[in-house]
């Protein structure tokens, strides 16, 4: 008779790998399935920020922080908390981080300064509530390094070099400051050494460090990792989940299955059903996140929880074809919109939003106005100082981006308007008014630079307003922005222990969901940095705790065949 395993985890992002590592650390026999040829999902290409109220890195302030986060979420997300899931997140985020740091290779450091996205609301934090993974040496993965999904090329210049959050400012200033240039030179020298032996840099930061650290943990904890093996069906008997079909065979499970397939960013039918029409075309999430977890669970009677405009975590993106023919989707999250010398307009040539608000709010403004696209505009001085989308401030090769048809350039604002198909008079009036305000440092129309989050994304060295400068130095440039998602927030209805619920609200025995397969506790809001990965790790931890309490050891039907180990 084939041997059953305790737990099968489906999906290898932060949620899946954390659940698998924690379960294996408790001595359970765990199989992790990943349908693509690489591990890490969207997590591996993300910023790796983790919102964890009350985390131990806050020291004596930890308990106060949980209470503050509770008030803050009450305001941003809304008062009711069906099933106590939000409260469960608040109560367990810190223990989850502590367990991961104690039982796995995951290590975090606080991001001392990174404001929540509505920093003037009661309970908002200006930093410390959010953590980032400690940089990780990818060489520790040995041959498995090749299995870790690489970050998107636009974020890794010089042939696969990752740049830490804290180093970004040095790269921007390298041509203007000797100390910054010295730091950049050291980073480049290290990268050159790493490239002698590896196809990309091995000093990993951000989401790649998070995924890399979890992968190392899975290897150390003897998790049976099977890449290129997607789950295709859940098997139920006697009122509970009994196994999963993958690669044409069935893997029997004793305790349960954790769905962590990353949500439905690339499932056309669910996008059509749940996302606002202008935002259905593009996603910045990984193509493997194609609704499998939700479909598998729905076939077993699971319910889906959704909320219209709030069915996804939004970001504006731009798009172009890379030299190798692949399609690039560039998320304009934090690098350009709030910088001095930029503004965004609609197809009428008018500003429609405070450009420095969070990426989620920026797109919500587009969706409210039913906009399928917008234009982000800057002048030459701004591009050279801060970069623009994927175009770096130094070594940027501006002409290449223009030839590609990605960047539109013109010697004056009227010509730029004509090139974009906008009315020159309307765009001219918008830019004149914006410039007048920018010189005074006060955005009368939208209040840009009006709070700590916006100023954090601006340029602290720029005065009087870190987010405002006139567009005055030709040529002028524009990129087309589209509303898109960086993950979906509608998902499977679950309870406070990550158990998947059926349409009557009862748990489906042995079935768990975490990450973007689970309906987000943020319920369509985006309160701060790391609010998808924080809950992903927390509910992975809660699923693991619940799995430890599952005690159903059943005889495996003899016709079930347990496949041999995967490629790892
Ligand atoms: C550019 C960018 C930056 C971001 N930065 C942050 C940030 O700093 N902080 C934050 O909180 N969020 C961030 N996000 C969002 C965050 O990355 C995602 O919400 C999160 O990674 C989702 O994690 P997950 O584990 O649910 O799914 P994923 O990490 O996407 O992993 C899901 C995996 O499941 C696999 N899979 C799917 N179906 C099957 C199947 N049938 N069988 C087996 N495997 C399957 C997929 O191939 C994939 O590898 C960012 C997103 C983007 C795009």
* Tens of pLDDT, residues 14-50: 999 999 999 999 999 999 999 999 999 999 999 999 9
The ligand 1 atom nearest the CA atom of 515: 26
Q: Whose CA is nearest to atom 9 of ligand 1?
A: 530
Supply the DSSP symbol for 302. B
> Is the pTM here over 0.85, yes or no?
yes
| pLDDT in the model for residue 397 | 87
Percent of the chain with pLDDT over 90: 88
Q: Which of the four pLDDT bands, split at 50, 70 and 90, describes residue 344?
A: very high
- Judge whether 484 and 331 are in contact, CB under 8 Å: yes
User: What is the whole-number distance in angstroms between the Cα of residue 438 and the centre of ligand 1?
Assistant: 38
| pLDDT in the model for residue 560 | 42
User: What is the whole-number distance in angstroms between the Cα of residue 127 and the centre of ligand 1?
Assistant: 24
Question: How many CA atoms lie within 13 Å of 341's alpha carbon, on the beta-carbon side?
Answer: 21
DSSP readout, 451-500?
A: SHHHHHHS-TTSSS-TT-----SSSEEEEEEEEEEEEE--EE-B-TTSEE
User: Which of left, alpha, beta for 329 (phi over 0: left; psi -120 to 50: alpha)?
Assistant: beta
User: What is the whole-number distance in angstroms between the Cα of residue 468 and the centre of ligand 1?
Assistant: 34
User: What is the whole-number distance in angstroms between the Cα of residue 487 and the centre of ligand 1?
Assistant: 7
Please write the tens of the pLDDT for every residue from 504-540. Answer: 999 999 999 999 999 999 999 999 999 999 999 999 9
User: What is the whole-number distance in angstroms between the Cα of residue 144 and the centre of ligand 1?
Assistant: 19
Q: Which of 8, 261, 263, 264 to mutate to test the pocket of ligand 1 (most atoms within 8 A of CB)?
A: 261
Q: Whose CA is nearest to atom 49 of ligand 1?
A: 41
User: What is the whole-number distance in angstroms between the Cα of residue 482 and the centre of ligand 1?
Assistant: 21
Whether the link from the prior residue into 464 is cis, omega within 30° of 0, is yes
Distance CA 487, CA 489 (A): 7
SS percent in the chain: helix, strand, coil, step 5:
35, 20, 40
* Between 568 and 542, the higher pLDDT residue: 542
User: What is the whole-number distance in angstroms between the Cα of residue 536 and the centre of ligand 1?
Assistant: 9
The ligand 1 atom nearest the CA atom of 286: 30
The answer for residues whose C-beta is within 8 angstroms of residue 197's C-beta and 6 or more apart is: none
Helix 14-25 crosses helix 533-549 at what angle (to 10 degrees)?
Answer: 30
User: What is the whole-number distance in angstroms between the Cα of residue 414 and the centre of ligand 1?
Assistant: 42
The ligand 1 atom nearest the CA atom of 288: 47
3-state secondary structure labels for all residues of 3-46:
CCEEEEEECCCHHHHHHHHHHHHCCCCEEEEECCCCECCHHHHC
Q: Which of the four pLDDT bands, split at 50, 70 and 90, describes residue 565?
A: very low
**CB-defined site of ligand 1, < 6 Å:** 10-16, 33-36, 41-43, 45-49, 230-231, 260-262, 284-286, 288-289, 292, 331, 486-487, 515-516, 530-533, 536
Residue 302 has pLDDT above 60, yes or no: yes
Q: How far is CA 329 from the centre of its chain?
A: 14
Q: Whose CA is nearest to atom 40 of ligand 1?
A: 230
Please write the tens of the pLDDT for every residue from 399-411. Answer: 999 999 999 999 9
């Amino acid at each position: 008779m084939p041997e059953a395993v305790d737990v099968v985890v489906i999906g290898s992002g932060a949620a899946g790998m954390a659940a698998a590592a924690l379960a294996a650390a408790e001595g359970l026999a765990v199989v992790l399935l990943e349908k693509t040829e690489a591990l890490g999902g969207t997590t591996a290409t993300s910023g790796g920020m983790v919102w964890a109220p009350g985390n131990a890195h806050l020291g004596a302030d930890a308990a106060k922080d949980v209470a503050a986060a509770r008030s803050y979420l009450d305001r941003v997300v809304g008062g009711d908390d069906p099933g106590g899931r939000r409260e469960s997140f608040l109560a367990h985020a810190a223990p989850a981080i502590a367990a991961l740091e104690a039982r796995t290779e995951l290590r975090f450091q606080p991001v001392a300064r990174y404001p929540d996205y509505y920093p003037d609301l009661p309970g908002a934090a200006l930093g410390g509530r959010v953590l980032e993974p400690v940089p990780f040496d990818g060489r520790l993965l040995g041959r498995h390094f090749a299995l870790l999904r690489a970050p998107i090329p636009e974020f890794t210049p010089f042939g696969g070099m990752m740049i830490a959050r804290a180093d970004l400012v040095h790269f921007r200033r390298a041509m203007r400051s000797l100390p910054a240039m010295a730091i950049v030179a050291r980073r480049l020298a290290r990268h050159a050494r790493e490239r002698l032996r590896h196809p990309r840099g091995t000093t990993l930061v951000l989401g790649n460090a998070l995924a890399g650290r979890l992968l190392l943990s899975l290897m150390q904890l003897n998790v049976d990792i099977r890449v290129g093996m997607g789950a295709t069906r859940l098997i139920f008997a006697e009122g509970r989940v009994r196994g999963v079909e993958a690669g044409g065979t069935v893997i029997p499970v004793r305790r349960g299955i954790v769905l962590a397939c990353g949500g439905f960013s690339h499932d056309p039918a669910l996008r059509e059903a749940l996302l606002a029409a202008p935002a259905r075309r593009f996603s910045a999430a990984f193509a493997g996140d194609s609704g499998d977890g939700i479909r598998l669970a729905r076939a077993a009677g699971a319910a889906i929880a959704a909320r219209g405009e709030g069915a996804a975590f939004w970001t504006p993106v731009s798009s172009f074809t890379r030299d190798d023919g692949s399609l690039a989707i560039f998320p304009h999250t934090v690098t350009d919109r709030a910088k001095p010398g930029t503004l965004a307009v609609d197809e009428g040539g008018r500003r429609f939003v405070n450009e420095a608000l969070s990426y989620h709010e920026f797109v919500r403004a587009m969706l409210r106005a039913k906009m399928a696209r917008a234009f982000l505009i800057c002048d030459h001085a701004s591009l050279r100082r801060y970069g623009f989308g994927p175009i770096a401030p130094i070594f940027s090769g501006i002409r290449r981006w223009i030839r590609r048809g990605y960047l539109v350039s013109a010697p004056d604002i009227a010509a730029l308007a004509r090139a974009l198909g906008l009315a020159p008079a309307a765009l001219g009036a918008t830019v004149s008014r914006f410039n007048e305000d920018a010189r005074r440092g006060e955005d009368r129309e939208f209040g840009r630079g009006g709070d700590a989050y916006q100023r954090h994304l601006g340029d602290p060295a720029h005065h009087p307003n870190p987010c405002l400068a006139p567009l005055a130095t030709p040529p002028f440039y524009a990129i087309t922005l589209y509303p898109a998602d960086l993950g979906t927030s509608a998902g499977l209805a679950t309870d406070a222990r990550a158990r998947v619920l059926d349409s009557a609200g009862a748990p489906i025995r042995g079935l768990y969901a975490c990450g973007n397969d689970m309906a987000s506790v943020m319920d369509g809001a985006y309160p701060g940095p790391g609010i998808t990965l924080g809950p992903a790790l927390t509910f992975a931890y809660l699923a693991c705790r619940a799995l430890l309490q599952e005690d159903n050891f059943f005889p495996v039907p003899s016709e079930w065949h347990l496949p041999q180990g995967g490629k790892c």
